[in-house]
Amino acid sequence: MDKDITRAHPFLDLSDNDILTDSKAPGSRSGVVMHIALQGCLRGGDIPYGLTADTGGHIRYLLELVEALSRRPEVEHQIIVTRAFDDPKLGAEYTAAEESLGPNVTLWRCPGQTSDYLAKEALWSELPALTEALVDRMREQGIRPDLVHAHYADAGIMAYQLKRRLGIPYVFTAHSLGASKLQHASPDKPISRTLRRRIRYEELAVRGASSMIASSEHEAKFQYGLYRCHDLNRTKVNPPGCDLQNFSRPAPQSTTHEVDTLLKRFLREPELPCLLAIARPVAKKNLKALIKAYGENPELRQKANLVLIAGTRSRIEACEPEAQQVWLEMLQLIDDYDLYGHVAYPKQHELRQIPAIYQWAAQRKGVFVNPALNEPFGLTLLEAAAAGLPVVATQEGGPIDIVRRCGHGLVVPPTDTRAIAEGCRQILFDDVGWQRLSARGRKNVAFYSWSRHARQYVMETGLVTRDSLPVLGHERPTRILASDMDGTLLGDHRGLERLKQWLAQNRECLFVVATGRAVDEALGELNAWSAPLPDFLIADVGSSIYRIDPQGRPHPVQAWQDKLDQDWDRRACEQVLSPLPGLRLQPAHTQSAYKLSYFTDDSGASKDSLIVKAKQCLAGAGLEARVVHSHGHLLDILPVASGKARAVDFIRQHAGIARRRVVAAGDSGNDEDMLRYAALGIVVANHSGELNDLKGYEHIFWARSSCAAGILEGLNSVDTSTGRQLNDNNQRHTPLEIDINGNAAGMEAGA
- Domains defined for the chain, CATH in brackets: 5-237 (3.40.50.2000), 245-448 (3.40.50.2000), 479-564+642-715 (3.40.50.1000), 570-638 (3.90.1070.10)
3-state helix, strand, coil in the chain (%, to 5): 45, 15, 40
Helices (H) and strands (E) in the chain, counts: 26, 26
Cα–Cα dist 282/45, whole Å: 25
Angle between helices 57-70 and 450-460 (to 10 degrees): 80
CB 331: neighbour CB atoms within 10 A? 13
Q: Which residues pair with 484 in a beta bridge?
A: 514
Q: What pLDDT shows up at residue 574?
A: 92
What is residue 125's predicted lDDT score, i.e. its pLDDT? 93
451 contacts 325 by C-beta, under 8 angstroms: no
**pTM as predicted:** 0.55
Give every residue of the chain whose pLDDT is below 50, as ranges: 1-11, 13-29, 465-468, 470-474, 605, 719-751
Residue 472 makes CB contacts below 8 A (sequence gap 6+) with 535, 547, 549, 550
723-730, long-range: CB within 8 Å, 24+ apart, which pairs? 725/680, 725/699, 725/701, 728/701, 728/702, 728/704
User: Strands 391-394 and 170-173: what pairing?
Assistant: unpaired
SS3 611: helix
d(CA 202, CA 185) in angstroms, rounded, equals 18
Computed from CA positions of residues 340, 342, 343, 348, in that sequence, does the dihedral angle turn out positive or negative?
Answer: positive
Do residues 58 and 123 touch, judged by C-beta distance below 8 A? no
Taking each helix axis as running N to C, give the angle between helix 570-577 and helix 604-620, from 0 to 180 degrees, rounded to the nearest 10: 130
Give the pairing of strands 634-638 and 596-600. Answer: antiparallel
Residue 720's pLDDT is 35
Q: In the prediction, which pLDDT does 16 show?
A: 39
Burial of residue 482 (number of CB atoms within 10 Å: 0-12, 13-18, 19+): buried
Backbone angles phi, psi at 710, to 5 degrees: -65, -35
Q: What is the pLDDT of residue 3?
A: 40
Cα–Cα distance for residue pair 489/532, rounded to 1 Å:
10
What is the C-alpha to C-alpha distance for residues 96 and 108, in angstroms, rounded to an integer?
Answer: 8
Enumerate residues 6+ apart whose C-beta is below 8 A from 154. Answer: 38, 39, 120, 123, 124, 127, 201
Burial class (CB in 10 A: 0-12, 13-18, 19+), 226: middle
Cβ atoms of 718 and 680 closer than 8 Å: yes
Give the Å distances, CA to CA, from 111 to 38, 86, 121, 122, 149.
11, 10, 18, 15, 20
What interhelical angle do 287-295 and 321-336 show, nearest 10? 0
Please name which of 613, 624, 645 lies closest in space to residue 541, comparing C-alpha atoms.
Answer: 645
